[in-house]
């Protein structure tokens, strides 16, 4: 599969962003130019939270001072590697 990018997250695990998921994320107009911000959220998040409905999913939060919101990057881990599910802005950490 072709990746848009691959990074090592704060916990030392590999995370991929697929072209299909990047196309999904870009459907939100405010996220069309956020590729570097998404990478930064994974590499140096303000916090990482568990998703209560799926223990394999983690939510990475990074505060964006310009927008005064958090960028949330949702990652699912399978076989030791992470795959970005989606990303969006939110005003609170859940």
The reported pLDDT for the residue numbered 1 is: 60
Residue 16, judged by CB atoms within 10 A of its CB (0-12, 13-18, 19+), counts as: middle
Q: Are 35 and 5 in contact (CB under 8 A)?
A: yes
Distance CA 25, CA 86 (A): 6
The reported pLDDT for the residue numbered 33 is: 87
Q: Give the residue ranges of DSSP H helices in the chain.
A: 19-25, 35-43
The reported pLDDT for the residue numbered 32 is: 85
Element (DSSP H or E) covering residue 47:
strand 47-50
Which pTM value belongs to this model? Answer: 0.94
For the record, the structure tokens of 35 come out as 């590729």
In tens digits, the chain (94 residues) has pLDDT values of: 689 999 999 999 999 999 999 999 999 889 888 999 999 999 999 999 999 999 999 999 999 999 999 999 999 999 888 999 999 999 999 8
């Amino acid at each position: 599969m072709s990746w848009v990018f691959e990074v090592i997250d704060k916990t030392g695990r590999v995370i991929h962003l697929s072209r299909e998921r990047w196309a999904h994320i870009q459907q939100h107009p405010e996220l069309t130019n956020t590729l570097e911000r998404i990478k930064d959220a994974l590499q140096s998040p303000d916090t990482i939270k568990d998703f209560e409905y799926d223990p394999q999913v983690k939510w990475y939060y990074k505060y964006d001072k310009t927008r005064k919101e958090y960028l949330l990057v949702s990652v699912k881990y399978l076989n030791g590697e992470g795959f970005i599910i989606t990303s969006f802005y939110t005003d609170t950490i859940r």
